[in-house]
Amino acid sequence: MRCLWCGKEKGTSPGEIFWEDDLLCSGCRRQWIRWKEVRRIHTVVPEILYRYNHMGSACLRQFKETGDEALKDVFLYRDRNRLKRKYHGWTLLLMPSTPEKFQQRGFSHLEEMYGSLGLPMRDCFEKTAEAEQKLLDYTERQSIGIRLKDAALPERVVLVDDVITTGATLRSALSCIDRKKHRVRILSVFGVSGDTGIP
Ligand SMILES: [Zn+2]
């Protein structure tokens, strides 16, 4: 089997024997650096899998912008079984794209990325158009930007995203949910760290 990213034939290094059906070779996988920092979004400490570095950014861009279906399982591959167990009984709430972005892509990249967990997923938020958001000042952007389309949520929900940058979108999503009625967790594949050099 060839590495999905660099095309090298896999199967010889010890890491590749252990993770034999990983879609990436051990050389490429080594560039996926685990997230170690503790962040807080309101009172929730999000679970973040990797630092958003050049490798993560390149894979995510290729997946989102070219619709490279084959890459969809690369992101959760090493965490899939653990996450399935950890979030059993929880419902994933997908963070929204703007309608323009969704139309451009023609698919929901989060639904594809998180689909391998086999957990219930809901597309229950909607985002106001980016053009509208640009007109707002910083404080206004913090408080709006996301609405719940469907307020009837299950009791245990996980907000899922691809990259956490400032956390503003997630904060906005959290403020739509009644925390007395719902248990809320946050899960993201990538987090932006101060020194990754990725804008
Ligand atoms: Zn590779």
Q: Is residue 138 part of a domain?
A: yes
Quote the pTM value. Answer: 0.88
Q: How far is the CA of 25 from the centre of ligand 1 (A)?
A: 4
Q: How far is the CA of 26 from the centre of ligand 1 (A)?
A: 7
List the domain range (segments joined by +) for residue 19. 1-30
pLDDT over 80 at 118, yes or no: yes
Instruction: State how far the Cα of 4 lies from the Cα of 141, in Å rounded to an integer.
Output: 38
Q: What total of structural domains would you count in the chain?
A: 2
Q: How far is the CA of 136 from the centre of ligand 1 (A)?
A: 43
Q: How much is the average pLDDT of 49-68?
A: 93
Q: What CATH number does the domain containing 163 carry?
A: 3.40.50
Q: How far is the CA of 29 from the centre of ligand 1 (A)?
A: 7
Q: Is residue 169 part of a domain?
A: yes
Integer angstrom CA distances of residue 51 from 34, 102, 192: 6, 25, 6
Q: How far is the CA of 199 from the centre of ligand 1 (A)?
A: 24
Chain mean pLDDT for the chain = 87
User: Which of the pair, 175 or 101, is modelled with greater confidence?
Assistant: 175
Q: How far is the CA of 93 from the centre of ligand 1 (A)?
A: 31
Q: 93-108 burial string, b = 16+ CB within 10 Å, else e?
A: bbbbbbeeeeeeeeeb
Q: How much is the average pLDDT of 44-73?
A: 94
pLDDT over 60 at 138, yes or no: no
**H/E run at residue 63:** helix 54-66
CB atoms within 10 A of CB 141: 17
Q: Is residue 197 part of a domain?
A: no
